[in-house]
Amino acid sequence: MQRLSPLDAMFLQQDSPTVPRQIASLAILEPGEHPLDYDRLIHVINERIDLVPRYRQVPRTVPASLGTPVWLDDENFDISLHVRRSALPRPGTTAALHELVGRLIARRLDLDRPLWELYLIEGLSKGRVALLFKAHQALVDGSETVDLAQVLLEETAHQRDIPHEEWNPRSEPNAAGLVVGTLNRNLRHPGEALRVAELNLGRLARRLPVIGADGQPPNSVLSTELSRHRRFASLAAKLDDFRRVREEHGGTVNDVILAAIAGGIRGWMLTRAEPVTPKTSFRAMVPMSVVAEDGLPTSLGSKVRGHLLSLPVGESNPVVRLHQVSYALKDHRETGSAVAANKLANLPGFATSTFHAVGARVADAEAGRGHQIVITNVPGPQDPVYMAGEAVSEVYPCIPLSGRRAISIGVTSYNSKVFFGIVADREAVPDVEVLAQCIEDALLELVESVEGRRGRAPRGRQRPAKKS
């Protein structure tokens, strides 16, 4: 029997109606010769699910909470309960897709079944379909289990024939067997037993009445008590625009993305008449891949570490804002532990969804650092990839909300474009589409600084030109 790690057990324990602990990704597929339908999708998943056995298992608690839950085969596994169909009303607009995605990512997974769902969304314009993957944060750790989207994607339109064996679930052990096995493990791994005790104390503390609001961040544009509902917005931009800004002003594509997000938050706050001063900033948790020893490991050879960044939202000059972000991330680049973007993009398989899942885990594991927004950015392949024979045209991460954070942003670069997925609390951020537009406007400001050749930050006052 495999046991949940203490971090996975924490995600399972903290799952609630207002904070469902699940990460999602949205893929848009172009229609091929044989458009993807529900029956073919079921067939493809049945062929691939053997590669991820955890997708047919459920977590079972140990009596008296002596240890973390164990993964056991679901004797009643029914794939039709996990692969579902939805459709947009005609004409299948982007706004309708955003509304549906917002509702689906807010819906909690059934913790008594394997912790994932996949929605086939039909009715998009131009004959396209979408796939929305949902997986619990306790399921996808990037090491033992990867995201289902990574398993289904191919580098060519031709589908591989994968050997498929008839699955027979193993019988569930009795309570006495679970207790004995757990006690033996606690004796062999006392450190893990201590973390289990800390989890149990945390569960007890959450049941006690809260006295006062000490330690809680005050309500702000990015911080609030979360509701049960979510909104979703997306944004697509040309990767060449980010590269042009990088070549003119220095830094990295990641710096340009973060500077555009900072400028977008600034513009969005101004549309809401929120106070913005030159000193306004927000602490962002930006998970990054590293080769160092610390960080959460992945099966793809690197680890992910959380980096705390102060977003310079108060800076009005877009180029100065970019320089401030680049300078803040300079230490990370110069340590020698950073993983180059092109190395990540060339990893086997379309690993972006798995890396986003690991990044979200890192952000939650480091919640004590007081960040106000989570931003994950994962570079993907620049050649087309396929799913069930259909070309993937767009892919948007959906990073879960937790704590009091009302907004999260996931970014993926793929096939010469950069895709932003924005998840927001429905009640706190009814204007999430405005935020997406403001991020696009902030990027346009940076692009115009290159086209106008007035991009570099001024260095002191220049003397006026002499008249001839």
Residue matched to tokens 């990370």: 332
Model-wide pTM > 0.85: yes
Q: Decide: 25 and 380 in contact? Cβ < 8 Å.
A: no
SS3 content of the chain, % helix, strand, coil (to 5): 35, 25, 40
Report pLDDT for 355: 87
CA 426/CA 348 separation, integer angstroms? 37
Residue 362, Ramachandran bin (φ over 0: left; ψ between -120 and 50: alpha; else beta): alpha
Give residues with Cβ within 8 angstroms of 135, minimum separation 6: 22, 23, 24, 115, 116, 147, 148, 357
pLDDT at 333: 65
Residue carrying the six token digits 């024939």: 161
Tell me, what DSSP letter sits at residue 25?
E
Angle between helices 239-249 and 432-451 (to 10 degrees): 50
pLDDT for position 185 = 67
Kindly report the number of other CB atoms within 10 A of residue 202's CB atom.
12
Place of tokens 């399921």: 139
Give 340-353 pLDDT, tens digit per residue: 545 454 554 556 88
Residue 169 has what pLDDT?
Answer: 83
Compute the distance between CA of residue 95 and CA of residue 88 in angstroms, rounded to an integer: 10
Place of tokens 């060339």: 346
CA distances for 121 relative to 85, 92, 100, 443, angstroms: 6, 10, 9, 30
Cα–Cα distance between 205 and 217 in angstroms, integer? 19
Q: What is the pLDDT of residues 70-105, one digit of tens each?
A: 899 999 999 999 999 999 999 999 999 999 999 999
Q: Please tell me the predicted confidence (pLDDT) of residue 145.
A: 86
Q: So what's the pLDDT on residue 87?
A: 95
Rounded CA Rg of the chain: 23
Residues of the chain with pLDDT under 50: 204-216, 337, 341, 343, 345, 348, 454-464, 468
pLDDT value at residue 45: 92
Q: Determine the Cα–Cα distance for residues 334 and 410; give it in Å rounded to an integer.
A: 25
Q: What is the pLDDT of residue 57?
A: 95
Place of tokens 């050997």: 163
| Six token digits for residue 373 | 């927004």
* Contact partners, residue 397, CB within 8 Å, separation at least 6: 23, 24, 25, 352, 353, 356, 376, 378, 410, 411, 412, 419, 421
Alpha-carbon separation of residue 167 from 41, 50, 232, 321, 388 (angstroms): 19, 8, 37, 55, 22
